[in-house]
Amino acid sequence: MTVRRYDAPGLRRVVRAHPGPVVLGPGPGDPRDAHDPRLRGLRALTAELLRGHRHGLLGVCLGNELLAAELGLPLVRKDQPFQGAQERIDLFGEAHTVGFYNSFTARCDAATADRLARSGVDLARDPASGDVHALRAPGAAGVQFHPESVLTLEGTRVLANLLAAIQTPGDRAR
């Protein structure tokens, strides 16, 4: 993996040419802040990659929020931040213990989740609050939690499953 800053010269060109999945990493930052040049640039890059990066796109935390926003979901500040919170969630039909470190989240009601499902977007969300824990869309996936955290049990397996789902067969052969 190569880590690149949001303001690295030639970032868009390098990311578009990348022969594997692109990971939009965690924050910090308010994903709703249109005045922050970093977030404005990441939001534009997310939209571009979602439309056409054929090797997949994975969003983690802030990256997930940017993906969710591009799919039309509202982003909100949580009533109570989850900083180092370990929670058991339903992740696409499987129970997982995961670590959250977020002050913001995408929210979605059941009707919107059903509408998105008809267009190929699958959401793992808290049924009571509507907080989106994860999403899967054609060529993209995102998680609000941190699969790399020691608080996420089986994080490597969760990450491998998400990456396998977004990659083309040629990418998996590498």
Q: Are 142 and 134 contacting, i.e. CB atoms less than 8 angstroms apart?
A: yes
* Run of H or E including 122: strand 122-125
Q: Catalytic amino acids?
A: 61, 146, 148
Burial of 158 (0-12, 13-18, 19+ CB in 10 A): buried
The 10 Å Cβ neighbour count of residue 162 is 24
β-strand partners of 137 = 140
Q: How far is it, in rounded angstroms, from Cα 56 to Cα 154?
A: 22
